[in-house]
Chain A
Amino acid sequence: MKAEDLLLISVGGAAAKIARQIALKSRRDLSQPPMRILILDTDDAVLQTLTHAEGVSATIFGTQRLSGRGTGGDHILGVGAFRDDAAILMQQIGAPRLVVVLTCCGGGTSGACEPLLRALRDRGIANIVFATEPFAFEGDARKKTASIIAPILSETANAVTTVPLAAFMPKGSEQWTAEQSFDYVADRLSAGVSLLWTLLVHPGYIQFDVEHFRQMLEREVGGALTFAFADAEATGERRAETIVETLSSSPRFRLRGVDSLANASQVIVGVLAGDDLRLSELNTLMSGLQKVINKQAEVVLGTVNQAVFNGKMEVVVLAFTQQGLEIAPSGDALQPVRRRAGKGAKAKALTAVKDRFDDVERTIIDGVNYDEPTYLRRKIRLKR
């Protein structure tokens, strides 16, 4: 996939800061094409504070309604603000093939994600959403807004992860200041998104099949795919082992009492390393991860090798789970869900929930397969 086929959109002030971090991170690696980033916010003051970077454009929207101010936590204002300027904003977005949306659900501007995601889907643009939920100390109002926005994202996005900010925090971070905490989260989130980005635009020795990924996201199988993600980096002789340990125990794979790796239907493992990456390290990494990943899951590996990363190894893991599938609670005493699956089950893992008529003669009349859902055949969009 070419760099121009990808677009990162941040929605809201907090997400804008993370987007800026990502832009800076991507510039660090000079061989990487500049990331196309569109920062959207209603608050002019936030946009003024951002350092401009190559490929980054910042747009204020909803000025008629909000006069360049924030939404004050009202997500309805966020929706209205986007709708006011939808035509201009969609023109600015253009026609990328994949859009990564970043938003922090506690703010009212994140309400704009709903019309944005609908517009993207209407135009056939695949999207994947990285959303965060506020820290507990941010107060009930932001928590309430997040509780409204998160389900909407699940209904309108192609794939979505909603991670509580607290899940990013490492052990021993309790004494950090709020600024340190936000900076750390922004750094981790940007690291994960950047790594995914690099994986998408850079063909490595083990190339990640981006088209397969995009098709997987675009497949209209009802609500959004949900995913969990975590990243890790390490140096030194035992860097692969260290990364396996970090990822296996990452709290981001154990959100809300659910073990995302044990329940994953597809897992994407992206490895960014130098030319010194050894096959034995890849073996260590993959065999280590596969011990904690659902045995039925399809695991896809992609690597990017760049000389500037010699001596270092960065890994991002995205674990996709479908809503409605059996979920195993996390906990060492509990075994991951083992589903009986025949030949081909892996390939079907992300296409749909089990089709009731898989093992029976199809109802085909005049060439039409009536076992396929009517709404899918008729391409009816559901107002979820």
Chain B
Amino acid sequence: MATQVLGALDIGTQNTVLAAGEVVDGQLRILHVVTTPTYGVKKGIIRNIGEAVQTIRKAVSEMNQQHNIELYEVITSLSAQEIKTNVRKGTTSFVSTKVMNEDDEIEAQEAAFSIETPNSPDVLLQRFKQWFKVNNHSVESPVGMKGTQLEASVLELSAPRTAVEALHSAISQAGMHTVETIFSGCADAAAVLDQQTRSDGALVINFGAGTCDYLAISNRIVVAAGTLGIGGHHLTNDLAQAFQLNQDMAERMKIERGAAQIQPDLANERYSLQSTFSAERTVSVHAIQTVTTERVNETLYLLRDILLRQGVVPSTLHGGVWLTGGTAALPNITEQVSTVLDCTCRIGVPMDVIDVPEMIQMAPYRYATAIGLLKMRAKTLAQEVRKPSFFSRMRAFIKG
């Protein structure tokens, strides 16, 4: 039987990644990955559908022509600073003590769900089950437990309707169908975290060009998630403003000399700026790194405060911080994250995948979202094959 080719589309602010994979003996095999510069997207949201459609078409065309793979449906990711999180609780009471089953579990969760109307400005993106309480005692799973009351907590993630519809519309106009839309932080976590790390607790930060997505997991439960509308483009823009450069020159300066901590061995050097017509001028590397470190520091402290407000103390996540996204390439960023969040930080590398193309191996953090999407899609399909029932559809909907 021919295996189904899975497609994943990650439309980032800077680059768009289209990945194709298949499941071989229960493991995800990456067939090919195509990356192309993104147009029409700012801070994660499509601002110009026409340009976004062209971007997707270019990626699809490259996948088709270079690798002879035609994708008709894709799982895609969304990141936007307007993404909202909401913790909701639902309770099911029973007439008498009973042994709880999966139906009871789902019923309690359904009681927690928000009610979405067709005209609401936000649409539900994902739900994550958090915890259960049987007769007010916390349990990991209520199935098989005896009690008269079951309480469920669910973390809901919603996104602006316009952002989601624009994304679906662009993909549709590019000739593909969207099978699932996932919060990009969740896709990153799926890519880089193993079960042990999920149990230990971990924070995944996707420091992309337009946004900074985060997802905190403790005891395999998503405890916080969200997006800051701050990304690598802010570093670039800060440099552009500081040294009166256009964005391209500032981007090059960031890549060549930016850092998340002042690098003493480079700080005394001068960075040469050359343009076609104006005279050469030089800029202190110390000044460049002051601009970038201040921005990175501020973003990390802001993120720490937001997590603390959501009840997450990063230092208690013993699995540490996992960094993905293009800004993870900034020198010394893991050290700075460790300093600010007081826990270990590593660059996120997609796990449990085979035949990883060389371009992913070179910069795995850039492809974590796309690989995570493929893994999530593979998981959903596997669940549907095992149990094509109401329960499995609910499970696919309630990630955790």
Contact = CB atoms under 8 A, between A and B. Distances in A.
Contacts of A66: none
B122 interface: no
B287 A374 contact: no
B263 interface: no
Contact of B290 (A151, A323, A370, A382): A382
B284 A382 contact: yes
Given A256-B279, A382-B287, A365 B241 contact: no
A355 B241 contact: yes
Contacts of A151: 281-282
A371 B228 CA distance: 11
Contact of A257 (B241, B277, B282, B283): B277
Interface string A318-337: 00001111111100000000
A199 B141 CA distance: 81
A375 B294 contact: yes
Contact of A353 (B233, B240, B281, B282): B240
Interface string B228-249: 1110011011101111111101
A324 B291 contact: no
Given A154-B281, A363-B228, A378 B245 contact: no
A380 B242 CA distance: 11
Contacts of B242: 222, 373, 375, 382
Nearest to A327: B277
A356 interface: yes
Given A370-B230, A374-B298, A222 B278 contact: no
B241 A363 contact: no
Contacts of B295: 373-375
Contacts of A356: 233, 236-237, 240, 247
Given A360-B47, A370-B229, A353 B290 contact: no
Contacts of A365: 228, 302
A354 B291 CA distance: 18
B346 interface: no
B245 to A, nearest CB: 4
Interface string B283-310: 1101100110011001000100000000
A257 B279 CA distance: 10
A222 B243 contact: yes
A324 B240 contact: yes
A186 to B, nearest CB: 26
Given A324-B240, A384-B284, A375 B291 contact: yes
A375 B290 contact: yes
B272 to A, nearest CB: 11
A223 B234 CA distance: 19
B244 A324 contact: yes
Size bracket of the A interface: 35 or more
A383 B270 CA distance: 11
A347 B338 CA distance: 43
A174 interface: no
Contacts of B228: 363, 365, 370
A363 B294 CA distance: 17
Interface string A247-262: 0000000001110000
A384 B245 contact: no
Interface string A208-224: 00000000000001110
A327 B294 contact: no
A53 interface: no
A355 B161 CA distance: 27
Given A327-B278, A356-B236, A374-B294, A383 B284 contact: yes
B275 interface: yes
Contacts of B243: 222-223, 323-324
A382 B286 CA distance: 8
Contacts of A353: 240-241, 244-246
Which of B247, B275, B294 gathers most chain A CB within 10 Å?
B294
Given A154-B281, A221-B244, A223-B244, A363 B233 contact: no
B32 interface: no
B43 interface: yes
A383 B287 contact: yes
B277 A361 contact: no
A308 interface: no
Given A329-B277, A384-B287, A352 B241 contact: yes
A221 B278 CA distance: 19
Given A356-B236, A382-B290, A383-B287, A361 B241 contact: no
A376 interface: yes
Contacts of A258: 277-278
B81 A361 contact: yes
A357 interface: yes
A376 B243 CA distance: 12
Interface in A251-286: 256-258
Contacts of A357: 42-43, 237
Contacts of A376: 241
Contacts of B298: 370, 374, 378
Contact of A360 (B43, B246, B291, B294): B43
- The 8 closest A-B CB pairs, nearest first, are A363-B229, A324-B244, A373-B238, A382-B287, A324-B245, A327-B277, A356-B237, A323-B244
25 contacts: A154-B281, A221-B241, A222-B241, A222-B243, A222-B244, A323-B281, A327-B275, A329-B277, A352-B241, A356-B237, A356-B247, A357-B42, A359-B42, A360-B42, A361-B43, A363-B228, A370-B230, A371-B237, A373-B238, A374-B291, A375-B294, A375-B295, A378-B298, A383-B284, A384-B287
Given A324-B244, A329-B277, A384-B283, 6 more contacts: A154-B281, A324-B249, A363-B228, A374-B238, A378-B294, A382-B290
Interface of A: 151, 154, 221-223, 256-258, 322-329, 352-357, 359-361, 363, 365, 370-371, 373-376, 378, 380, 382-384
